[in-house]
Chain A
């Protein structure tokens, strides 16, 4: 029986626990043992990308210490957070140790520890695609259509563009990506807070591209990064649009259980912007 460690991410924990619950249910339904290291907090990417290196390193050290004492694959509910651990941790922790005046050997040790734990990290849909076969039985036909937005770090750092589509299509869900799918939605971690005007201009461009998929009958927007999804959902809500936005595992869970009832189509067509960004 396989066992995984769930890296739930701070955003899912705080703002979308349903995403984490769905991720657990899909895994457990397939007989996978899920463990949740309860000391986990945040990977520190917010601080890292904003240029706050010692602050990011403090969170990274805690993350490594939390997960290195566990066993088995670490399944992350975010492509971007997975990429942070895999791509940034080894150098970040080594450099930070040096900058704090630790000896060379201690810095090298941090690099090794980070690299060792990073090797075990997978984004949730990557692991599910390879280890969780869809349930037996007929797929719903024709399956519901969902709009899918992939985060930039999933796409360019993990170099993963197929896994979310694969896990959804395996369960009879049709996946559509918007035009210019590779273009950033403008979230960018703290960028969404420190540069809200440009961040929102990018969100609006993405929402315009997604409108075409809503018109095609997509039942929700989904994706593998809650940061992007909260940003797009938050913009839609501010513009008076209540189109459902669901993390990937929630859609997979709905496909497996047939519980699509809360994926109701938007009650009203696109309304005009109610509030513009202020500078």
Chain B
């Protein structure tokens, strides 16, 4: 079944212009993504023995994705045995309804969340707010963008588009609004100290914690969360109810598999061998388990994922959300995450967004936000062939007539003529006639049809006289033989 994802209602040209005009964002995103990409490069170079694990991880993830239904049965049995309650949500709407129902059941007023892309997919915070529930993000980056009223701009670093001065300003406003002591300075330590102080109270006051999940280990029914701030530890232990919403692609079969996979997001995402915190959730508190929530509800989400099984796109589901592809993407570095208009940005986002929604939203993504430079393919730890998928999605767009008629016509004419040498020579004659209108001195400054786009910002040399082949045919040694 087709999934649903939220989308920015602004059309692509508007999003693009907004991004390109935001010099601070572009500089900040450029610096941060280059730093992260360099961190990844160094971490992998310093860890050659990690290669074997990485290859095993790729195989394990592919196998797990292929047999997710079996693993889900296994996981449900194990989670139930530990006193947890597994649910399955086929659609985003079903998942949201489940969480709202659970919140009602436990009379929840205050929710804390650890960082989760899946809940962004569901717009869960907004749905709970409609029920009068206060939801607070506890990941520092998520907390910052919640204050700013923004969406994440990066899978791993939701606030990487904001610099320190902008964050300090947000914190000062928040302090004023709540009658709290503002951060003592713009230094990293002072800002972190403010967030820590502020969030600590919220952790203690919340009734319900909501998490996503990085991995679900089927053999033991364990949810694994990796964070760099430890906020998942608190979200999963302090409130009396815990709800975890996890995409079905997060299932892994065994702990052996997990040990191969668990390092990969940190290695490729931030250039470290492991995230600072690895939080394991096994079930609610009970006999022999002193800590944890009174109840744990685990919701496995499909939302368009299972439709990829058995298609050439199946491997896309092995994505670990490390964001290495975003960090190396030249287009992402120019426009940042918000320009994509989807929860998922960067190379993986332009592949997943049309796939999960069957092109119902943002069909421009695979075409407008990729130069096919292959940097993402080089960076992906799961060896997902992102450029191949992007080209395949472009082919799908052509089949569905989602490309402008003028482009289709231009490219069909082009191929129809150039499949024979006579046709090729014919187009040279046409071009020489046409370029009289567009020639300014020694340069072309315009062209009709699809090529007009080039001349918005660049000039071109005219078609040469003679072309190479004309020169070749006319040289004394002609007939294709060199003089020897």
What residues of chain A have their CB less than 8 Å away from a CB belonging to chain B?
A: 1, 8, 10, 12-17, 19-21, 24, 28, 31, 33-42, 44, 46-56, 58-59, 61-62, 152-153, 156-157, 180, 182-184, 186-203, 205, 230-231, 234-235, 237-238, 275-279
Given A59-B419, A276-B457, answer yes or no on A197-B20 (Cβ-Cβ < 8 Å).
Answer: yes
Which B residues lie within 8 Å of A19 (CB)?
A: 468
CB distance from A44 to the nearest CB of B (A): 7
List A contacts of B461 (CB < 8 A): 15-16, 230
Task: Provide the bound-state CA to CA distance between A234 and B377, in Å.
Answer: 29
Does A17 lie within 8 Å of B415, measured CB to CB?
Answer: no
Contact present for B331 and A14 (CB under 8 Å): no
20 pairs of residues in contact across A and B, judged by CB atoms under 8 Å: A1-B484, A19-B468, A21-B471, A33-B481, A33-B482, A40-B421, A46-B414, A49-B391, A50-B367, A51-B403, A52-B412, A56-B415, A152-B372, A183-B375, A186-B371, A188-B371, A196-B457, A198-B16, A198-B331, A199-B371
On whether the beta carbons of B331 and A51 are closer than 8 Å, the reply is no
Q: Is the CB of A52 within 8 A of B398?
A: yes
List B residues 374-394 near A (Cβ within 8 Å).
374-375, 377-378, 391, 393-394
Count chain B CB atoms within 10 A of each CB in A12, A33, A49, A55 and give the residue with the most: A55
Cα distance A200–B334 when bound, in Å? 10
A31 and B459 alpha carbons, distance in the complex (Å): 38
Within 8 A of A (CB), among B430-476: 431, 443, 450-454, 456-464, 466-473
For B412, list chain A residues within 8 Å (CB).
52, 55
Partner of A184, one of B371, B414, B471, B473: B371
Assuming the contacts A192-B454, A201-B334, asked whether A41 and B378 have C-beta atoms less than 8 A apart, the reply is no
Q: Smallest Cβ distance from B212 to chain A, in angstroms?
A: 31
Closest Cβ of chain B to A121, distance in Å, is 18
Question: In the docked arrangement, what's the CA distance between A182 and B376, Å?
Answer: 12
List chain B residues, Cβ under 8 A from A34: 482
Partner of B457 from A15, A38, A189, A235 at Cβ < 8 Å? A235
Q: Say yes or no: B414 contacts A38, CB within 8 Å.
A: no
Once the chains are docked, how many angstroms separate the CA of A238 from the CA of B454?
11
Instruction: Looking at the assembled complex, report how far the CB atom of A11 sits from the nearest CB atom of chain B, in whole angstroms.
Output: 10
* Given A192-B454, A195-B367, A47 contacting B375 (CB threshold 8 A): no
Complex CA–CA separation, A183 to B334 (angstroms):
11
Chain A: CB-nearest residue to B431: A14
Inter-chain contacts of B394 with A (CB < 8 A): 49-51
Tell which of B335, B460, B469, B481 touches A234, judged by Cβ atoms closer than 8 Å: B460
* Pairwise interchain contact A42-B418, C-beta atoms closer than 8 A: yes
For A238, give its contact among B34, B419, B457 (CB under 8 Å): B457
Leading 6 A-B pairs by shortest Cβ distance: A51-B394, A234-B458, A188-B371, A55-B415, A184-B373, A193-B453
Name the A residues within 8 Å of B483 (CB-CB). Answer: 28
Q: In the complex the two chains form, is A192's CB within 8 Å of B391's CB?
A: no
CA distance A21 to B372 in the complex (A): 30
Bound-complex Cα distance A62 to B415 (A)? 11
Pair B453/A196 contact, Cβ less than 8 Å: yes
Residues of A within 8 A of B423 (CB): 41
18 new A-B pairs (CB below 8 Å) besides A53-B398, A195-B367, A278-B457?
A: A14-B463, A14-B467, A16-B464, A17-B464, A19-B468, A21-B471, A36-B469, A38-B480, A51-B397, A52-B411, A53-B395, A55-B414, A188-B370, A191-B370, A195-B453, A196-B456, A198-B335, A203-B457
Rounded to whole angstroms, the CA-CA distance of A131 and B412 in the bound complex is 39
- State in angstroms the CA–CA spacing of A184 and B330 once bound together: 6
Docked CA distance A37–B481 (Å): 10
With A12-B468, A14-B464: A156-B375 Cβ-Cβ less than 8 Å: yes
**Pair A47/B334 contact, Cβ less than 8 Å:** no
The residues of B that contact A188 with a CB separation of less than 8 Å are 370-373
The yes or no answer to B368 lying at the interface (CB within 8 A) is: yes
Q: CA of A237 to CA of B482 in the docked complex: distance in angstroms?
A: 36
Asked if B105 is an interface residue, CB under 8 A from chain A, the answer is no
Do B375 and A192 have beta carbons less than 8 Å apart? no
B245 within 8 A of A: no
Does B420 sit at the interface, judged by CB under 8 A? yes
Q: B17 near A: Cβ within 8 Å?
A: yes
Contact partner of A190 among B331, B450, B484, CB < 8 A? B450
Nearest A-chain residue to B372, judged by Cβ: A49
* B residues in contact with A47, CB < 8 Å: 411, 414-415
**Complex Cα–Cα for A56 and B391 (A):** 12
Count CB-based A-B contacts (< 8 Å). Answer: 221
B277 interfacial contact with A, CB 8 Å = no
A277 CB contacts on chain B under 8 angstroms: 456-457
State in angstroms the CA–CA spacing of A1 and B197 once bound together. Answer: 79
Q: B428 interface residue, CB < 8 Å from A?
A: yes
Q: CA A35 – CA B483 in complex, angstroms?
A: 11
User: Is B200 among interface residues, defined by CB-CB distance under 8 A?
Assistant: no
Bound complex: CA A15 to CA B367 (Å) = 26
Looking at B335, B369, B450, B468, the one whose CB has the most chain A CB atoms below 10 A away is B468
Tell me if B458 and A203 are in contact (CB < 8 A): yes
Whose C-beta in chain A lies nearest to the C-beta of B377?
A156
- A200/B458 in contact, CB under 8 A: yes
Asked if residues B375 and A182 are in contact (CB atoms below 8 Å), the reply is yes
User: B13 interface residue, CB < 8 Å from A?
Assistant: yes
Contact of B473 among A38, A53, A190, A198 (CB under 8 A): A38
Alpha-carbon separation in the docked complex, A193 to B431 (Å): 17
B481 touches A35 (CB 8 A): yes
**B106, CB-defined interface residue at 8 Å:** no
Q: How far is the CB of B399 from chain A (nearest CB, A)?
A: 9
Contacts of A180 in B (CB 8 A): 34
- The CA-CA distance from A226 to B55 in the complex, in Å, is 37
Contact A62 B375 (CB under 8 A): no
A39–B418 CA distance with the chains assembled, in angstroms:
10
Could you tell me the distance in whole angstroms from the C-beta of B233 to the nearest C-beta in chain A? 38
The smallest C-beta distance from A203 to any residue of chain B, in angstroms, reads 7
When C-beta atoms are compared, the residue in chain A nearest to B374 turns out to be A156
A86 to B456, CA, bound (A): 33
Residues in B with CB closer than 8 Å to A191 are 370-372
The interface residues of chain A lying within 8 Å CB-to-CB of B419 are: 41, 58-59, 61-62
From 8 to 42 in chain B, residues with beta carbon under 8 angstroms from any chain A beta carbon are: 13, 16-17, 20, 34
Contact of B468 among A17, A44, A46 (CB under 8 A): A17
Q: In the bound complex, do residue B459 and residue A234 qualify as a contact, i.e. CB atoms below 8 Å apart?
A: yes
Chain B residues near A190: list those with CB within 8 A. 407, 411, 450
With a CB–CB cut-off of 8 A, which chain B residues contact A231?
Answer: 458
